[in-house]
Amino acid sequence: MRRRFRTTGAILVAALLCGALATRECAAAPTDDVIARGKALTIAGDCASCHTADPAKPFAGGKRIDTPFGAVFSPNLTPDRDTGIGGWSDDDFLRALRTGVAPSGAHYYPAFPYPNFTKLIRDDILAIRAYLATLAPVSNKAPPPELPWPLNYRVLMRAWNALFFTPGIIQPDQGKGAEWNRGRYLVEALAHCGACHTPKNAFGADRRDQALSGSMVQGMFAPRLDGAARSGLKSWSAADIAEYLQSGRNGHSHAGPLMSEVVLNSTSKMRDADVRAIAVYLKSLPAGAPEPEVTPPSPAQMSDGERIYRGACIACHELDGSGAPRIYPPLPGNANLQSANPTSTLRIILDGAQTVTTPRAPNGGSMPAYPKLTDQEVADVATYIRNAWGNAAPAVTADEVAKARTAK
């Protein structure tokens, strides 16, 4: 009887332990709501744009990302156990996003925006991981970085982090409303807008005193997102900002080549409430660094530029620059056009542009390229449109055009 009792007791203990483990596993399994939230967060973070090299293999990484220091290649985010994140624990994923350190202990380069993602709350990070775990696993090992010595040694990132990286989540501003705080969280953390729109120092770190005041990215100039009068968002309403993010255009401007990718993969698919929150937060930002004082261009350059404009541009943009809002962007008061750095304007003239199409704005438009114009002719017409109709921006030189031709 005693032996039978011990056997029965052992079975009961084993059953209880198995039941406890099963319950633990069930409790750990993410719910459909968590996965759906993770998908929405992944879209807001625009993860697909950087981590998809082959559209047939989304999130499988391998995309080349050029930086001023060389090229890096995005890692595989699918749940493949050998080349992706399928073998990672939750703590591994948290550590990567919050500190920029891989499970192997290797340090990521800040082309991976962990200085922004460190501000994310734990539940959001784990929701993103839960969504990524639902993807089809793809075997795809990213190529090694193409960086010169000694930057190819990741251990140097320890010094970079000590100098420029401040870990920690965003603390809500109790003096602001929930919508403003949500917008700040999205802009500064998840959507990492500063990665493109904040100027960098010589070491590639954000100039925090010039946040969102515009920066060069992959041969284009990402414009100011602060309240600067001419080249910022002062003339835009919150509704204008939301429309631009959701459709890629509004009555003031159209998304350029790099921002079009963000609109297609991210902001046009985001929840209306989140887009509105971003718009409210951006609209609240005061002007940061002063805009440069502009010396009026010479009458000769303005005259030469007007002649080229009349011959090549008025068919779409009209003689007065008014264009056709949301089809051909108007030029008077155009913030991008009046940026202190003219590179994006020059690249659009040289390379042409294609209006992004989204569900909210399915009709497309295009601008032809004008590569046959001489450097001086491009400089003249760019100077003209940057200073006609009440606009004001520094004159463009032929040397700047020559640099823009190769800034790709």
Q: Band of the pLDDT at 80, cuts 50, 70, 90?
A: very high
Residue labelled with tokens 């891989």? 102
**279 and 369 fall within a common domain:** no
Q: How does strand 64-67 pair with strand 70-73?
A: antiparallel
> What confidence score (pLDDT) does residue 332 get?
96
196 annotated as a binding-site residue: yes
Q: Which residues contact residue 296 at a Cβ distance below 8 angstroms, ignoring those fewer than 6 apart? A: 387
Domain termination residue (choose one: 164, 186, 204): 164
Whether pLDDT at 15 is above 80: no
**308 and 223 fall within a common domain:** no
Distance set, CA 165 to CA 70, 116, 160, 207, 317 (Å): 21, 10, 7, 12, 45
**59 and 156 fall within a common domain:** yes
Residue 289: inside a domain, yes or no? Answer: no
**190 and 92 fall within a common domain:** no
Residue 109: inside a domain, yes or no? Answer: yes
**305 and 356 fall within a common domain:** yes
Residue 101: inside a domain, yes or no? Answer: yes
pLDDT digits (tens, 9 = 90+) for 220-263: 999 999 999 999 999 999 999 999 999 999 999 999 888 999 99
> What confidence score (pLDDT) does residue 88 get?
97
**72 and 144 fall within a common domain:** yes
**157 and 38 fall within a common domain:** yes
- 209: CATH: 1.10.760
> What confidence score (pLDDT) does residue 361 get?
86
Residue labelled with tokens 């900002």? 241
Amino acid at 319: L
Beta bridge partners, 353, equal 367
Domain termination residue (choose one: 284, 310, 337): 284
Q: Which residues contact residue 199 at a Cβ distance below 8 angstroms, ignoring those fewer than 6 apart? A: 206, 207, 210, 213, 214, 215
> What confidence score (pLDDT) does residue 408 get?
62
Mean pLDDT across the stretch 360-370? 88
Q: Is the C-alpha dihedral spanning 255, 261, 262, 267 positive or negative?
A: positive
Residue closest to 46 by CA, chosen among 30, 32, 63: 63
Q: Which residues contact residue 36 at a Cβ distance below 8 angstroms, ignoring those fewer than 6 apart? A: 131
**252 and 303 fall within a common domain:** no
Whether pLDDT at 14 is above 70: no
**248 and 210 fall within a common domain:** yes
> What confidence score (pLDDT) does residue 28 get?
65
316 annotated as a binding-site residue: yes
**143 and 262 fall within a common domain:** no
47 annotated as a binding-site residue: yes
Q: If you average pLDDT over each of 14-28, 122-136, 315-329, which comes out highest?
A: 122-136
Q: How would you classify residue 342: left for phi > 0, otherwise alpha for psi between -120 and 50, otherwise beta? A: alpha
> What confidence score (pLDDT) does residue 29 get?
86
pLDDT digits (tens, 9 = 90+) for 135-188: 999 999 999 999 999 998 999 999 999 999 999 999 999 999 999 999 999 999
Residue closest to 97 by CA, chosen among 52, 48, 45, 171: 45
Comparison of pLDDT for 194 and 25, the residue scoring more: 194
How many H helices and E strands in the chain? 17, 6
18 annotated as a binding-site residue: no
Whether pLDDT at 16 is above 90: no
Residue 107: inside a domain, yes or no? Answer: yes
Mean pLDDT across the stretch 298-321? 96
254 annotated as a binding-site residue: no
Distance, in Å, from the CA atom of 233 to the CA atom of 239, rounded to the nearest integer, reads: 12
Give, as one character, the DSSP assignment of residue 155.
G
Residue 11: inside a domain, yes or no? Answer: no
Number of domains in the chain: 3
26 annotated as a binding-site residue: no
> What confidence score (pLDDT) does residue 7 get?
44
> What confidence score (pLDDT) does residue 365 get?
82
**320 and 269 fall within a common domain:** no
Task: Annotate 9-23 with DSSP letters as a single string.
Answer: HHHHHHHHHHHHHHH
- Residue 217: domain span: 178-284
**231 and 116 fall within a common domain:** no
Helix (H, G, I), strand (E, B) or coil at 4: helix
107 annotated as a binding-site residue: no
Distance, in Å, from the CA atom of 57 to the CA atom of 50, rounded to the nearest integer, reads: 13
Comparison of pLDDT for 8 and 82, the residue scoring more: 82
Q: Band of the pLDDT at 368, cuts 50, 70, 90?
A: very high
Domain termination residue (choose one: 284, 312, 345): 284
Residue 8: inside a domain, yes or no? Answer: no
Helix (H, G, I), strand (E, B) or coil at 347: helix
pLDDT digits (tens, 9 = 90+) for 41-72: 999 999 999 999 999 999 999 999 999 999 99
Residue 18: inside a domain, yes or no? Answer: no
- 398: CATH: 1.10.760.10
Residue 186: inside a domain, yes or no? Answer: yes
pLDDT digits (tens, 9 = 90+) for 191-226: 999 999 999 999 999 999 999 999 999 889 999 999
